[in-house]
Amino acid sequence: MHTITFRHDINLLDIAWMGQFTRESAADYAREVLHRFAAERFKPGYLLRMDMTASPVQSQVGASVIHEQLRGFPRASAIAIVTPSAITRMQVRRLMTQPYLQVFDTAEPALEWLLAGDSARTSPGISSGVAGAI
């Protein structure tokens, strides 16, 4: 259903979704992310890549549970969402309004953007694999 990897070497929380969340699995996922973040001793300012390529658009219930349960999650310095789906992009745009978020079609440009650093990142928004404005 999902993988959660903490890359201490590059301060990256790397998450991949591989299915659709139910109310229960969304709550389990949120609890796991919160628990593992604390156990891994990650701090605000980390990089976040969420790869949703292998996941369909989430149901409103699943997305709402995740959104609500992770509302107070420690702030990342940059967020890269990976999805080629136009519908998933719209869902991301509706639920994730952070100004330091960028959406990519594939995972590699997302990681490159995250690792480029603050000064190299351009205006965040929804893109097709290139950092830039909506």
For residues 120 and 31, which has the higher predicted lDDT (pLDDT)? 31
Provide, rounded to the nearest whole percent, the portion of the chain with pLDDT above 90.
82
* For residues 42-46, average pLDDT: 96
Q: b/e for 48-57, b at 16 or more Cβ within 10 A?
A: bbbbbbebeb
Confidence of residue 73 (pLDDT cuts 50, 70, 90): very high
Q: What is the pTM of this model?
A: 0.87
Spatial CA neighbour of 50 closest among 2, 16, 87: 16
Confidence of residue 122 (pLDDT cuts 50, 70, 90): low
